[in-house]
Amino acid sequence: MSIMNVTKNVKNQFSNDKNLSMRINFYKKYTTNKYKFADWLYDKYSFKENMKILELGCGNGSHWEGKIDTLPNGCSLVLSDFSEGMLELVRKKFSTNKNVSIEQIDIQKIPFGDETFDIIIANHMLFHVPDLNRALLEVKRVLKDDGVFYSATDGNGGMRPFLHNAIVKFEPTSTAFTEQLPFNLQNGCEILDKYFKNVQRFDYENILAITNTQDLIEWLKSTKSISGYSDESLLSLYNYFEDIREKDMTKNIDKIWVTPLQTIVRVRTTYEDVSLNRLENTKNIDYIDTNVYDVYNEKEEKLSSHAYETKRIVTYSDGKTEEWEQGDIGTSNNFTNAKIELTEYIIIEKDETKEINITVKNLKENILVH
């Protein structure tokens, strides 16, 4: 693809924040790491008094909300982006901040003098740059000799192989999610070593637990990879992912409401020396059957997010281990002297208990109801 085409694609993708906001909100909703990425990233920055800071590719600036006022005294911040549509949103948010200036800047031609900035930030944008060498030479030029350059990127992996394998089931010639990012987690340090000293890598560990199939489809539609796909293909993808979701017994529950008199408790139950003909699971009104949910109070104020882990691990007398699916109603196998471990969350009347561990020994029944 030519440099001109790359530039055109980037302009189309980020002419406004519709696609960017979709992706940010998607990750916020389904992330299982309670240490939010924006907070983790901000805590990595080594801001000191009177520093000059430049961010290239700031997007809609959402990651700076609530943080600009925490900058040390005397710091000045230039928020810049290639897209004028993004900058319109940034101006609405931060134009009244006296220590913030907002400019349209192409990283390949930064309009500042040599060694101007103490810190330069370019997150999730270097893989979009047509001429990466030119861009990094510009960053090095305007960065002070003792300055620091921060850049977050994605890896060639993650969901990409899974999504590609799903898409080719319905679009056999598709190359979606096979394109290697030119600047990625795997090669980033090697590339930056050519321009900067003492390059360090920090990994943010996270897993997405996606419980709503339509949200995944909307996220896919926001990417350039399948932006032109037909409604028929998207429906086929929806049904494919929905089958996976239903197999894993994951429900489309976004919010769990608790009153001030209720709390959520993790229950870990171990059944030892179990002799059973079959295992059944009964679901009462307090049983939560989802992977990830947000907890709100009666005033619709978000209290917290929880990763819901329901596991049923059976260890047979011969040492063989088997993990049953969430909500599994049991097995037709007869077994003796086995061990069953269950982990789940329930809503109970509020007390100080956060976790309950139960051990049941010598259970010899025809049916175990939980």
Counting residues of the chain whose pLDDT is more than 90, the rounded percentage is 35
How confident is residue 1, by pLDDT bands cut at 50, 70 and 90? very low
Q: Between 174 and 142, where is the model more confident?
A: 142
Q: Cβ neighbours of residue 171 under 8 Å, at least 6 residues apart?
A: 229, 233
* Alpha carbon separation from 265 to 22, 64, 210, 228, 285 (Å, rounded): 32, 34, 22, 45, 15
pLDDT mean across residues, the chain? 76
- In tens, the pLDDT along 210-243 reads 878 888 888 888 876 666 677 888 888 899 888 8
- In tens, the pLDDT along 177-196 reads 888 889 999 999 999 999 99
Length of the chain (residues)? 370
End-to-end CA distance of the chain: 58
pLDDT attached to residue 159: 79
pLDDT attached to residue 359: 66
Q: What are the backbone dihedrals phi and psi of residue 210, each rounded to the nearest 5 degrees, phi first?
A: -90, 120
Helices of type H across the chain: 3-13, 18-30, 37-44, 84-94, 132-142, 160-167, 188-192, 213-221, 231-247
Q: Which two tokens stand for residue 211?
A: 């419980």
Judged against a pLDDT cut of 90, whether residue 156 lies above it is answered with: no
Judged against a pLDDT cut of 80, whether residue 109 lies above it is answered with: yes
pLDDT attached to residue 5: 45
- Taking a C-beta distance cutoff of 8 angstroms, is the pair 274, 337 a contact? yes
Averaged pLDDT for residues 49-65: 95
Q: What are the backbone dihedrals phi and psi of residue 186, each rounded to the nearest 5 degrees, phi first?
A: -75, -35
Q: Between 331 and 125, where is the model more confident?
A: 125
Q: How far is 27 from 266, CA to CA, in rounded Å?
A: 25
Burial class (CB in 10 A: 0-12, 13-18, 19+), 358: exposed
* Alpha carbon separation from 366 to 271, 274, 279, 284, 331 (Å, rounded): 14, 10, 8, 21, 12
Instruction: Delineate the domains of the chain, giving CATH numbers in brackets.
Output: 3-210 (3.40.50.150), 255-369 (no CATH)
- Taking a C-beta distance cutoff of 8 angstroms, is the pair 345, 306 a contact? yes
Q: Between 208 and 144, where is the model more confident?
A: 144
Counting residues of the chain whose pLDDT is more than 70, the rounded percentage is 61
Distance of CA 125 to the CA centre of its chain: 17
Judged against a pLDDT cut of 70, whether residue 106 lies above it is answered with: yes
pLDDT attached to residue 346: 61
